[in-house]
Amino acid sequence: MAKVELFVNGRAVKGEAEDRALLVHFLRENLGLTGTHVGCDTSQCGACVVHVDGRAVKSCTMLLAQASGSSVTTIEGLSQNGELHPLQVAFRENHALQCGFCTPGMIMSSADMIRRHPEGLDEATVRLELEGNICRCTGYHNIVKAVLDASDKLRKAPSEAA
Amino acid sequence: MGVEGIGARVLRKEDKRFMTGKGRYTDDMVVPGMKHAVFVRSPHAHARIAGINVEEAKKMPGVIGVLTGSELKADGIGNLICGWMIHSKDGSPMNMGAWSPLATDTVRYVGDAVVLVIADTKGEARDAAEAVDISYDELPVVVNAVEALKHGAPQIHPEASNNMIFDWDLGDEMATNDAFAKAVHVTKLDIVNNRLIPNAIEPRATLGVYDAAEDHYTCWTTSQNPHVARLVMSAFYNVAPENKLRVIAPDVGGGFGSKIFIYPEEVVCLWASKKTGVPVKWVGDRTESFLADAHGRDHVTHAEIAFDQNNKILGLKVQTIANFGAYMSLFSSSVPTYLYATLLSGQYDIPAIHANVKAVYTNTAPVDAYRGAGRPEATFVLERIMETAARELNVSPAELRRKNFVRTFPHQTPVIMNYDTGDFDATLDAAMQAADYAGFEQRRQQAAKRGKLRGIGMSCYIEACGIAPSAAVGSLGAGVGLWESAEVRVNAVGTIEILTGSHSHGQGHETTFAQLVTERFGVPIESVSIVHGDTDKVQMGMGTYGSRSGAVGMSAVVKALDKVEAKAKKIAAHLLEADEADIEINNGDVRVVGTDKSLPWFQVALAAYTAHNLPSGMEPGLKEGAFYDPANFTFPGGCHICEVEVDPETGVTEIVQFVAADDFGKIINPMIVEGQVHGGLAQGIGQALLEGTHYDASGQLLTASYMDYAMPRAFDLPSFRILTTETPCLSNPLGIKGCGEAGAIGSPPAVINALTDAIGSNELSMPATPQVVWNAIQAIK
């Protein structure tokens, strides 16, 4: 059994799981954080993306044991003090979600993308950077719009990016 | 139009839970004592089961139970059914082979479920599944439907000789032959509509819970139509009587048709919960989705179209071989028949049409409805042959279409459909203008200077939604009625709950259905809640597929609202001492027209429940239900234009613009309609350029993961230009036609017409991958 200690959404958690347990299993089954989804078994769909020490990681591709000692943020921990993250607002305002299943991973990937591109984003870059996230509902049209919208707003008001 | 009423771009009420990780999908459900199930599936496409040994598996750590098909049969669980009867042209009923939820003697495709393993954890269930020892005697395999019909092909079901399920005709063959005899020009086309794998991002899942004390079952499941699931599992599979079976489809992560059908997994998990005494959860992994979700399309077609000297269409002949896979899925037989051949007249006035469809078993996954279901296949045949004909006749594709458009309504086609309304010139004009069609030649020349092949293609489609009326579909073989139900419950404080048999799995019903109520009574949208997806809450419903929720589901809500409004007006008239005919409900107030006498909406609701002062003889309460059975199909139509650039050195295609001009009739929420079109276009473009399903000769699915099956990614697609025109549907009270499938129906021929225009060859199969395109270019060099 793997024994781990980590921070999840700012809270210290300890846990124990099978050695083969993946981070996504621990988040969903042990912590009840079911916003992180499993949509494939080959690390392609990106429904399981979380942040580990500030970077986007596919939580289906990381053993729980590897995450010990890290700080993990899931979709449930993205909004702060009851305020939605600008990406969450932008996804709603641009109708960038339909069934909602890919949405948590899309938002977590996009947050990482915006962080890595302080110079701003254009459509081609957003489309390329979303390679690791599959959506079957939206045709990506409104997701791309939402990411660009949030990126612009965060550049104008960088304090909200915290 | 109010800010939250019909026609307003209201942001979605349901979004907050999805974007904060609080959606509740079937895999998120946890009940006390729940255990995890893994299905042992056939690795062979066709084999006799020589023996099943589960003894080692039963000894594995954490194992609760290992169950087989013979135990299932012994408990009286029935075989899976196809719910739409088709008769062959000789009058004989379709030849349906047996489909046991767990195979007992023969497996017929890779992925066929054989044994269920239940353990404390999913990992333990997987380990034990590895220890199940099934010995198989392999049998010859056929995966291609054309091959399966040939003499000497492997026989898949004893019930279907030569693997033929039915040999079905629609239209007048003699009249069509007569029309062809008068033809000045005949265009012929052989065409394949490629098999697709639906790939909702949420894999199918189910949680079966048997309560021994109550002798009651609960089934959480990823379903587009929980009531149909309950009906079928009660009436045909003998799981439990309806009053002892509750089916809940909570948040569902996309469907696209693939979650309409009742699959083996939910039946087996419910039965297994009783058998083992524990709640049993199964969550499919993606490989299982590829192997065992119902696939879509897979047609091989020969078509001929006849023209007179003025390029007017005289007749159309279509012969199609439809691959059904290894078993007849729930609505499989309706797809290449009444959802396909009935649409072959398209937007055109065609005097004579004859279609023949042969339905065939093969050793592949079952095929059933996938976004569009029959209509994309019909549109692909017709719009490819129209484009081909235009090139042969050396006339512009737009003009050939215009010459043949239906312009007077109602229009009776030779293939059952009666179009109530439409304006096909309007969508063609709108699309051509938005695409700057006139400026294309200049753009083509500019592209040529850059070494690129530029092409433009269009598709003018019609489709049929809200399949109905029930009596008509019953006469065509449907085992169910295709109405919808709704209940409007006004609470004593004036808030309103709408219970609907429609099911939302991404379509935004919690918002759009509430917009109807806001429009009617002027109450804030927050005071309206939509209840769906639970057979204990909503009495009955037919679910969501075929773009029917607006046209049929909302119409049922309108009927129930009519009744509520009538009763509320009676109560208000009594309280305000006015004539009922003078009462109007507006902006949350119930008032006497032309006076200052009014009551707030909530007071009328409260009066209905206190019942202190109601009109003589009136029952207390303010709650009404309605069933709505449409008078006709609805007929959305439109024009899609695609413009591509091909790199002749690599065969890589870039979509440089895509314009969709659609007539969906009345639109409740344009934002949501546009989103539906975007998603449909992505699936249609995916079919045209990316998504290929490949079985090898032994029946192994070579494209069983996202590493091998090319799902459209963000960088594969352009931003879309979406326009709408409006001719309201005449057969339902809101004038809605439906918008869910149009994108997937109209786009594949537009893309292929553009590509064939670009490369100058009509020989191009889907998906037109860079390799396919490059080979096509080389072939004409």
pLDDT tens-place string over residues B122-161: 999 999 999 999 999 999 999 999 999 999 999 999 999 9
CA distance A90 to chain B (A): 10
Number of domains in chain B: 3
Rounded Cα–Cα distance for residues B630 and B556 (Å):
9
pLDDT of residue A82: 86
Q: Do B123 and A95 touch (CB under 8 A)?
A: no
Q: For B38-66, what is the mean pLDDT?
A: 98
Same domain (yes/no): B502, B449? no
Helix (H, G, I), strand (E, B) or coil at B127: helix
Give yes or no for residue B8 having a pLDDT over 60: yes
Best of A45, A125, A137 to substitute, by most chain B Cβ atoms within 10 angstroms, is A137
Q: Which of B579, B594, B628 is the last residue before a domain boundary?
A: B628
Query: Which are the contacts of B616, defined by CB distance < 8 A and separation ≥ 6?
Result: none
Q: Do A20 and B123 touch (CB under 8 A)?
A: yes
CATH number for position B117: 3.90.1170.50
Residue B152 sits at φ, ψ, to 5 deg, of: 85, 0
B245-298 pLDDT per residue, tens:
999 999 999 999 999 999 999 999 999 999 999 999 999 999 999 999 999 999
Same domain (yes/no): B339, B357? yes
Same domain (yes/no): B389, B496? no
pLDDT of residue A159: 57
Do the domain assignments include residue B2? no
For the record, the structure tokens of B73 come out as 């049969």
pLDDT of residue B333: 98
The DSSP line for B667-703 is -S-HHHHHHHHHHHHHHHHHHHHT----B-TT--BS-
Which residue of A lies nearest to B16 if distances are taken between CA atoms? A92
Q: For B699-724, what is the mean pLDDT?
A: 97
Tell me the residues of chain B between 274 and 303 that have a Cβ less than 8 Å away from chain A: 283, 285-287
Residue with the bigger pLDDT between A158 and A113: it is: A113
Same domain (yes/no): B502, B541? yes
Are B269 and B207 spatial neighbours (Cβ–Cβ below 8 Å)?
yes
Same domain (yes/no): B243, B338? no
* Residues in chain A closer than 8 A to B712 (CB atoms): 139-140
Q: For B370-398, what is the mean pLDDT?
A: 98
CA distance B255 to chain A (A): 9
pLDDT of residue A161: 45
Do the domain assignments include residue B293? no
Q: Do B707 and A42 touch (CB under 8 A)?
A: yes
Is B720's Cβ below 8 Å from some Cβ in A? yes
- When the pLDDT of each residue in chain B is averaged and rounded to a whole number, the result is 97
Q: Do B20 and A76 touch (CB under 8 A)?
A: yes
CATH number for position B492: 3.30.365.10
Is this complex's ipTM strictly greater than 0.90?
yes
- Residue B90 burial (CB < 10 Å; 0-12/13-18/19+)? exposed
Same domain (yes/no): B351, B487? no
Do the domain assignments include residue B545? yes
For chain A, the three-class secondary structure string (H helix, E strand, C coil) is CEEEEEEECCEEEEEEECCCCEHHHHHHHHCCCCCCCCCCCCCCCCCCEEEECCEEEECCCCEHHHHCCCEEECHHHCCECCECCHHHHHHHHCCCCCCCCCHHHHHHHHHHHHHHCCCCCCHHHHHHHHHHCCCCCCCCHHHHHHHHHHHHHHHHCHHHHC
Q: Please report, to the nearest 10 degrees, the dihedral formed by the alpha carbons of residues B707, B708, B712, B716 taken in order.
A: 80
Do the domain assignments include residue B487? yes
Are B629 and B455 spatial neighbours (Cβ–Cβ below 8 Å)?
no
Same domain (yes/no): B208, B356? no
Give yes or no for residue A158 having a pLDDT over 70: no
Q: Do B713 and A130 touch (CB under 8 A)?
A: yes
Do the domain assignments include residue B247? yes
Domains, chain A, ordered by start: 2-77 (3.10.20.30), 86-156 (1.10.150.120)
Do the domain assignments include residue B157? no
Q: Do B21 and A38 touch (CB under 8 A)?
A: no
Q: Which of B610, B628, B646 is the last residue before a domain boundary?
A: B628
* Residues in chain B closer than 8 A to A136 (CB atoms): 199-201, 254, 256, 679, 682-683, 711
pLDDT band at B2 (very low <50, low <70, confident <90, very high): low
CA B79 to chain CA centroid, Å, is 24
Do the domain assignments include residue B15? no
Same domain (yes/no): B435, B552? no
Q: Which of B595, B628, B661 is the last residue before a domain boundary?
A: B628
Secondary element (H or E) of residue B15: helix B15-19
Which residue of B lies nearest to A46 if distances are taken between CA atoms? B201
A44-97 pLDDT per residue, tens:
999 999 999 999 999 999 999 999 999 999 999 999 888 999 999 999 999 999
Give yes or no for residue A162 having a pLDDT over 50: no
Same domain (yes/no): B303, B277? no
Tell me the residues of chain B between 67 and 106 that have a Cβ less than 8 Å away from chain A: none
Q: For B430-441, what is the mean pLDDT?
A: 98
Q: Which of B249, B317, B321 is nearest to B538 (CA)?
A: B249
Tell me the residues of chain B between 677 and 716 that have a Cβ less than 8 Å away from chain A: 678-683, 705-707, 711-715
Q: Do A136 and B508 touch (CB under 8 A)?
A: no
CA distance A5 to chain B (A): 22
Same domain (yes/no): B256, B121? yes
Residue B64 sits in which domain range? 27-139+204-283
A2-8 and A71-73 beta bridge pairing: parallel
pLDDT of residue B781: 86
Tell me the residues of chain B between 115 and 154 that have a Cβ less than 8 Å away from chain A: 121, 123
- Give the Cβ contact number of residue B233 at 10 Å: 25
Query: Which are the contacts of A46, defined by CB distance < 8 A and separation ≥ 6?
Result: A39, A58, A102, A105, A106, A109, A132, A133, A134
Q: Do B201 and A20 touch (CB under 8 A)?
A: no
Same domain (yes/no): B449, B312? yes
Are B187 and B385 spatial neighbours (Cβ–Cβ below 8 Å)?
yes
Same domain (yes/no): B548, B685? no
* Residues in chain A closer than 8 A to B679 (CB atoms): 98, 136-139
Give yes or no for residue B584 having a pLDDT over 60: yes
Which residue of A lies nearest to B719 if distances are taken between CA atoms? A141
Do the domain assignments include residue B228? yes
Rounded Cα–Cα distance for residues B170 and B147 (Å):
24
For A117-143, b/e burial (b = at least 16 CB within 10 A) is eeeebeeebbbebbebbbbbbbbbbbb
